[in-house]
Structure 1
Amino acid sequence: MELKQILVFMDDPDHSADRLDLALNLAKRHRAGVIGLKVQPHHLIPLRRGHDQDATEELARLFKEKTAAADVKGEWVAADAKVLGGVVEAINHYATFADLVVVGQSEHGSSERRATDFLPEKVVFGSGKPVLIVPYTGKYSSAGDKVLVAWKTGRESSRALTDAVPFLKAAASTHIFEVNPSQGEEADLEGLRRYLAAHGVKAEVETSLITELHVGDVLLNRVSDEGSDLLVMGAYADLHFGNYVLGDVAKHVLRHMTIPVLMSH
């Protein structure tokens, strides 16, 4: 797969500007176009505290100015959540026409109901595309130079690794890291090294045995130790009352993430 169309969700101007900068950086690296998506939510469900009024015009101007300055082909889309069934449904619909979806991390600690509550995981489960989730604190104008791949043999990690190949081919370094591998999984890691080598990616492989720390904290600590600027991981999910619920490790990472996370299901 190649990255030729990147969909970036734009809600409020402050966070969206940083998110768009990252999308444009990736677009230039991969010679891709960018689709900017603004979704007007139902009037009873604010998109974000302090941004209840429609900012479509300001966001459209921001998108057009930044894409022009970056010399990247841009397409602006303003959608109505009421027509498509909701904000998440709108993002998932337009993800059909993209190779990658860029969204922001959910803010935690508020009792206020928002249209963006749990949005990243809902897009991961519903879009059918890899989703790049950007932290809501800090600035991240680039990602993918030093990549850490969180591995656990299974469908979700396999999907995430395959989706990440365009990033890995462009990266300066790639580390595959597994916490508490089960018996026989080290052979799988060697198979992964050969698979990536066939795609022109040289990857280092490492495992770690941890019994006391949360696996999510181990991954985030490893990100810090390696100086990684992108974490790739599969979105394992449990079925709870008919709905997908993000697994404990992925949920922990999305809550405490310190760098952009590329996640697939």
Structure 2
Amino acid sequence: MRTLPSILVHLDGTVRAETRLRFAHQLAQAHGSALTGFFAVAPPVLPALALPGGLPAMPMRGPVDPDHRARALATFERALQDSTVRSDWQELRGEPVVEAFVRRALTADLMVLGQRDPFDATGFDVPGDFVEAALLGSGKPALIVPFAGEPPARLRTVLVAWRSTREAASALATATPVLCGATQLHLVCAAEDGPGDPLSGMAAVRDCLRMRGIERVHEHGLVEARNPGKALLSLAAEVGADLIVMGCYGHSRARELVLGGVTRTVLESATLPVWMAH
């Protein structure tokens, strides 16, 4: 059985950072993982100031909000003070936030990230595309914690969204430790582009899971094609899933991250944890 030697959890100044850290800590306890809390926020851009000599005005970077750092550090110390989990606190030192986090994530086995809450003003210093940039930039799997509600302490019921792609295969392989600990596993297949039967790969997935000691799988056929992202989330609610495992589809284009429709829908609207890999 594969393990999770190291977990990297993103911390910021939001209230949900504590929920995210607690969830990552539970995972670390369950899988014997080392846990690193990484405080990563972007310093604000101050108004542009006119420069002497007729030079054009240049925007200036301000300092990182000290209250946000203090809150994140206090949360980390409080959560880990009596824990036997190997833990480490790290933080940015002025580097670009996404690039620095991606660089650190390259040597982690799993990232634990937070779904963006568009209504939380305390999250202003985390880039809006942080989650997708970390996924696409690092190539590492991420467990995204929703911005509302309390994630389950145990991931007992898991829904795997399969597609015959590298991304889905990576998600399935990296999530093996969690899949082996589940009591119910559900499998749904996405429609494929081009010829061929999209359901033909399900037998191979069953064999793959069986080799990992997972014998019983509930199959649900094809996900609704008209709005597959919404249909996937509806199926997760219907089966009482604690987790969705799926590929993350997207690419960078002219400094813009372009995500697939299902990926964007799930990232924006999921109300349960999602395990994604690119």
Scaled by the length of structure 1, the TM-score of the pair is 0.87
Equivalent residues of 2:41, 2:125 under 8 A apart: no
Residue 175 of structure 2 is aligned to residue 174 of structure 1: no
Q: Which residue of 2 aligns with 1:48?
A: none
Alignment of 1:22-41 (within 5 A): 22-41=23-42
For residues 164 and 114 of structure 1, the distance between their equivalents in structure 2, rounded to whole angstroms, comes to 30
1:62 aligns with 2:75: yes
TM-score (norm 2): 0.84
Report the aligned-residue RMSD: 2.4
Matched, 1:91 2:101: yes
Structure 1 residues 209, 219: CA separation in 2 closer, same or farther (over 3 Å shift)? closer
SS of the residue corresponding to residue 66 of structure 1 reads helix
Contact 1:105 1:135 in 2 (8 A): yes
Equivalent residue for 1:123? 134
Task: Give the fraction of aligned pairs with identical amino acids, expressed as a percent.
Answer: 30
- Superposed CA offset, 1:77-117 (max 9, x none): 1222x33xx21122212212311001111123689964330
Change (3 A) 1:214 1:30: same
Question: Are 2:201 and 1:188 aligned?
Answer: yes
Counterpart in 2 of 1:204? Answer: 218
Q: Secondary structure at the match of 1:90?
A: helix
1:72–1:158 CA distance, 2 compared to 1 (3 A):
same
In structure 2, the partner of 1:4 is 5
Q: Residue in 2 aligned with 1:233? A: 246
Instruction: For structure 2, list consecutive stretches of 5 or more residues without a partner in the other structure.
Output: 47-63
**What residue is the counterpart of 1:150 in the other structure?**
161
Task: State how far apart, in whole Å, the 2-side matches of 1:125 and 1:238 are.
Answer: 7
**SS at the partner of 1:3?**
coil
**CA distance in 2: counterparts of 1:209 and 1:27, whole angstroms:** 32
Check the 8 A contact 2:144/2:275 in 1, yes or no.
yes
- Paired residues in the alignment total 256
Offset, 1:180: 3.8
Quickly say closer, same or farther: Cα 1:222–1:91, change in 2 above 3 A: same
> In 1, distance between residues paired with 2:244 and 2:224?
19
What is the letter of the counterpart of residue 126 of structure 2? A
Please say if residues 7 and 35 of structure 2, whose CA atoms lie closer than 8 Å, have aligned partners that are also in contact: yes
Q: What secondary structure sits across from 1:42 in the alignment? A: coil
Matched position secondary structure for 2:3: coil
Secondary structure in structure 1 of the residue aligned to 2:36: strand
Distance in 2 (CA, whole Å) between partners of 1:209 and 1:67 is 41
Higher mean alpha-carbon deviation, 163-172 vs 59-68, is at 59-68
Distance in 2, matches of 1:246 and 1:188, equals 24
- Cα distance in 2, alignment partners of residues 77 and 209 from structure 1: 41
Q: Distance in 1 between matches of 2:4 and 2:157?
A: 18
Shift of 1:150: 0.9
Bigger Cα Rg: 2
Q: Judging changes above 3 Å, is the alpha-carbon distance between structure 1 residues 210 and 128 closer, same or farther for their aligned structure 2 residues?
A: closer
Which letter does structure 1 place at the counterpart of 2:275?
Answer: L
Partners of 2:262 and 2:142 in 1: CA distance: 17
Q: CA deviation at 1:143?
A: 5.1
Residue 237 of structure 1 and its aligned partner are, at CA, apart by 1.5
- Give the counterpart of 1:162 among 159, 173, 181: 173
In structure 1, how many angstroms separate the alpha carbons of the residues matched to 2:268 and 2:41? 25
